[in-house]
Every structure is written in C-alpha cells, then in structure tokens.
Homo-oligomer: A and B are copies of this chain.
Amino acid sequence: MLKISLAQINPTVGDLAGNTRKILEYTALAQKTGAQLVVFPELAVCGYPPEDLLLKKHFVADNIKALDALAKKVRGISVITGFVDSDAGGKIYNAAAIISDGKLQGVYYKQELPNYGVFDEKRYFSLGKNPGIWTVNGVKIGINICEDIWVDGAVYQAQAKAGAKILVNISSSPYQAGKLKERQELLARRARETKKHLVYVNTVGGQDELVFDGGSMVISPDGAVLARAVQFEETLLNVDLSSKNNQVAPALESSEDIYKALVLGTRDYAAKNGFKKAALGLSGGVDSALVACIACDAFGPDNVTAISMPSPFNSKATRQDARALAKNLKIELKEIPIKKIFASYLKTMVPYFAGLAADTAEENIQARIRGNILMAMANKFGGLILTTGNKSEMAVGYCTLYGDMSGGYAVIKDVFKTKVYELARFRNSMSRTPLIPKSVLLRAPSAELRSNQTDEETLGPYEELDKVLTAYIEDRCSPQDMVASGMDAKLVARTIRLVDMNEYKRRQAPPGVKITSRAFGKDWRLPITNKYKE
C-alpha cells in the first residue's frame, strides 16, 4: 500500500507565494520520510475562504501561475493540493490538482458546493463533473473535496464503485465545538459504506472569524481511526496504511478545544494582519480576565498590555482583582482613570443635559471614553485592541457601541457567559496556581457603569438566558417551542425582542472566533429592518 503524508498546513488567504512555498517545504519534508504521496488541504494555494477575491480574474490567474510554478518543482513524489481552476469560458472551480514528475497530471473539480451557514460557494464556483480517479504508484485513488464527502451518495460512492482503493478528501472545514467528533463519525460511516481507506486532510489556522482546527485523519475500511493529527497545529502526519502503529493524537476535552480555538483564532488574526502586540481593557470581571489569559497564550505575556480605566463606579475589589490577575499573568498593567474626562463631558453637556435625570447617556459616555483611550493607546503605540464582550451580551445588546465594543478583534464574541466561566475555570486548572483570582469567578457580574449595578437584575440569570439564546439563535426555535420546553414565557419574549432590536449593534461589531454552530458572523444574516414579531 501507499505511504502517505497528510500535510495539515496553515495557509494565508491571498498569500500565493507564501502558501506555495509552504507546500513545497512540506513536500520536501514528506519526501524525506519516504512518502509516495503528500496531500494538502482544500484551496491550499490561495487560502480558504478567498471570498470576493475570486471575482478578480487576475487573482485566479495568479493562483494558477503559482500552482504551475509549484508543479515544475515536484519530483519523486506525488502531490495533491487544492487550488482554483478556470476554464476557457471563464467559469471557475474549487479544484484539486494531482502533481508528479514536474507536471500537473490531472484536476478534479468539487461537485457539491455548500451555500449555507458561513459558506457562499455557489456565489463563485461552477459544478464539476469529472470522476476524480487517478493512479498513484500503481494504486487507484478517488479524490474529492470537503462537501463531496458530506452529501449522501455523492461522488465518493462512484469513485469507490469505480475501483478506487483509497478515497482522499481535502477539506477546509471550520471548527465549531464538537466538530471533530462529528467529522470522525461521518468519515467512519463513509469508510464502512464504501469499504475503502479514507484519507482526510483539513486546513489548520485562523481566517477572520473562522478557525480551521485540522484534526486530519485516516480511517480504515472498518471505520476505525488508523491515524489522527493533532488539532490546532501545523503538522505533517505520516501514515502507513498497512501498519497498525500510526500516530493517533488524543482527542481534546470540550473546554480545551474551545480554548485552543480562541487562542489560535486570535493569534492568526493578529499575525496575518501584522500585529505582534495586543492590548485590552481589564475591568476585574471574568470576561476581560479570560480574554487576558487567551491574549497571553496567543501573544506571550511580554506582548500584552492590560489597561484598567477605573471610574468612581468601579469597586475597590474589582480594581484589586485586575491588579492580581495582571501580576499572575506577568503582563503590564496601566491604570488610566476616566473620572476627569468624564467630568469634562458632563460639564460640556450641561447646556443640554442640565435638569435631566442621568440615564444610559451618561453610562455610555463612560464606556466610550474607555473605547477612545484604548484606541488612542493603539494609535500611539501600535498593537491590536481586543474587545472582551461575550455572546450573551452581544445577543441582547448589553454592550456599548463605540464603547466596550471598540477594538480590532472580539475574542469571545461567540462564547456565552456561562461558557466564559467554564473556560476561565478550565484555564485556571491548567496552571499550578490559578491565574484568575477566585473572587473574579464568585462575584456577581456587573458593567459598573452606575452604583450597585448587576447584569442579572437587567437580563435575568445567565443560566436561563443562555438557554433561551441557544434555542433562539442556534436551534431557530419559535417562542412557542421554547415555552413548551419549559422556558419562562416572559424571559423568552423579552430576550427575543432584545436580540432582534440589537441587530444594528452586532452589524458594527469587530470580528471574533466562531465556536458555535451559529455565530454572529457570516452564518447570521438577519435584516436590521425587521418587523417580524414571533
């Protein structure tokens, strides 16, 4: 049987030179280990998803040129890699190239184009029709791309019937919690169905809101995992199909995989956009504490600046917690009090606000002063501002546009508040002494924009709220269904109203890592103007 290397690489969208260089490096590495075939992920040459770059003819042409140059350098090994191909009529295809002996031996075009969730492939690609079967070192293999293996009865079946001994699927399958298990079950089913070996190579790395978690694997015809690559890391997995002693990386625990996704998404967004440093507002609350931990793991403590911007409404306890956390994390903490700036706003607004009760206006002024200070520090000293809002807040609009929503990357925007606590406890469990002070985890959450404020007096208990939000956002339940399943009717009605009316805020939010089946990104396309009352 073939000796195959699964090249789980981290390409960058648009970086044609860098990606092909990486493909050649991994090809040389695979060759050194004696592999006869090395397999790269879907669209590895141009990165995934290239979105509207695909509408530029010169982009597609440049990616083909890059592939041709790459092909000329391949000798003594076969390479399968994803790229974009075009035909004489100008149609373009999500394609797999089979390369050996310094030239392109064949091309397969994806037949199933996902156009749901975060995917828009029908916006760009035409459907392929060729069978995708080639012989490598005397072994017949069937090549297909991502969605081709997800759709029942798709091309993989025809390839198996046509006598392919091995089915190779190249993917760029985005992470969401539980996805590795879902993929593995699917692949095992396909292997048993076709009685073939299944080689699955996934991209790894962050691209805007998406994280690709890798987890490439080989499944034997009986559905067993013959080999599996580590998740969230670039790696070359060498597999001998006839051996039972291939590497099987352990599957990650539930909090661990989410945490690693957040770190990788943040690290790659920064690195691929030229940021080496990050800064964030540290309040002493659990959200910013978790983001500070993620930032340290993504950038290293020396490259993270925490900025505490206390107002008279911030308790001594939260300020102390912020200091303790910064000390534990070994990150720099700057204190920039906002009291005087706030006073100057109030004074300036006297001609208009005098005699009126303080309300959201005054609360938001404070949040926006903090946003302005963070951005001023970024403008002056460089670095990426990380926002610290969680998904529960983003959903119901419990956040200030241009205030705490100011920043380049919203690390935990897809993490519900209850999950924030879980992840904070998980991160604490990873260090000998907990990084996040216990008091942060025990104190009732508060925005501290007025005296004695707590989140839950406004929003209800997070345990309940997050259940309603999950049902509404991810499961698309109707309020009737939710109430029937035991949720409080008033909470359901109020929560739906808040989610709907705050669409305008989410539209202006920075990107952040998708970890659920439905994040507030490309997989959430609700109109702002919307009078549907459920």
Is there an interface contact between B120 and A53, defined as CB atoms closer than 8 Å? no
Could you say which of B273, B341, B348, B379 contacts A359, with CB atoms under 8 Å apart? B379
Chain B residues with CB below 8 A from A353, complex form = 380
Judged by a CB distance under 8 angstroms, whether A368 is at the interface is yes
Indicate if the CB atoms of B359 and A529 lie closer than 8 Å.
no
- Give the contacting residue for A340; candidates B49, B56, B347, B525; CB below 8 A: B347
Question: A67 near B: Cβ within 8 Å?
Answer: no
User: Which residues does chain B contribute within 8 Å of A530, judged by CB atoms?
Assistant: 13-14, 53
Is A372 interfacial (CB 8 A cutoff)?
A: yes
Q: Which residues of B contact A534 (CB under 8 A)?
A: 56, 58-59
Q: Report how far A368 CA is from B209 CA in the complex, Å.
A: 26
Selected contact of A15 from candidates B55, B524, B531, CB within 8 Å: B531
- Encode A347-364 as 1/0 by CB contact (under 8 A) with B: 111011100100111101
- Least CB distance from A224 to B in Å reads 35
**Complex-state Cα separation, A527 to B59, whole angstroms:** 14
Is B402 a contact of A52 with CB atoms below 8 Å?
no
Closest B residue, CB atoms, query A272: B529
Q: Which residue of B lies closest to A207 (CB)?
A: B529
Q: Given the complex, which residues of B lie within 8 Å of A527, measured CB to CB?
A: 13-14, 49-51, 53, 207-208
- Please encode chain A, from 317 to 353, with 1 for each CB lying within 8 Å of some chain B CB and 0 for all others: 0000000000000000010111011011101110111
- Please give me the residue from chain B that is nearest to A206 by CB atom: B529
B375–A372 touching, CB < 8 Å? no
The chain B residue sitting closest to A363, CB to CB, is B379
CB distance from A333 to the nearest CB of B (A): 13
By CB atoms of chain B within 10 A, which of A52, A368, A527 has the most? A527
Does A215 lie at the interface of the complex (its beta carbon under 8 Å from any beta carbon of B)?
A: no
| Cα of A56 to Cα of B376 in the assembled complex, Å | 42
Contact, CB under 8 Å: A524 / B52: yes
A115 vs B119: C-alpha distance when bound (angstroms): 12
Assuming the contacts A380-B359, A529-B208, asked whether A368 and B371 have C-beta atoms less than 8 A apart, the reply is yes
A476 to B90, CA, bound (A): 15
A532 to chain B, nearest CB (A): 3
Contacts of A347 in B (CB 8 A): 340
**Which 4 A/B pairs are nearest by Cβ-Cβ distance?**
A14-B532, A15-B531, A361-B379, A344-B344
Q: A352-B380, A379-B360 are in contact. Are A269 and B529 (CB under 8 A)?
A: yes
**CA–CA, A52 and B401, complex, Å:** 23
B16 and A532 within 8 A (CB): yes
Which A252-293 residues have C-beta < 8 A from chain B? 268-269, 272-273
Interface string of A8-31 (1 = CB under 8 A from B): 000011111010000000000000
What CA separation (Å) do A76 and B400 show in the bound complex? 54
The answer to the question of A128 belonging to the interface, with a C-beta cut-off of 8 Å to chain B, is: no
Selecting from A93-101, A236-244, A388-396, A508-516, the interface stretch reads: A508-516
A294 CB–B CB distance under 8 Å: no
Question: In whole angstroms, how far apart are the Cα atoms of A59 and B375 in the complex?
Answer: 41
When the two chains form their complex, are residues B379 and A364 in contact, meaning their CB atoms are under 8 A apart?
A: yes
Bound-state CA distance A379–B437 (Å) is: 36
Q: Contact partner of A13 among B123, B379, B531, CB < 8 A?
A: B531
Can you report 14 residue pairs joining A to B where beta carbons are below 8 Å apart? Answer: A14-B527, A15-B532, A56-B478, A58-B478, A120-B120, A120-B123, A272-B529, A273-B504, A341-B345, A359-B379, A361-B379, A362-B376, A371-B402, A372-B372
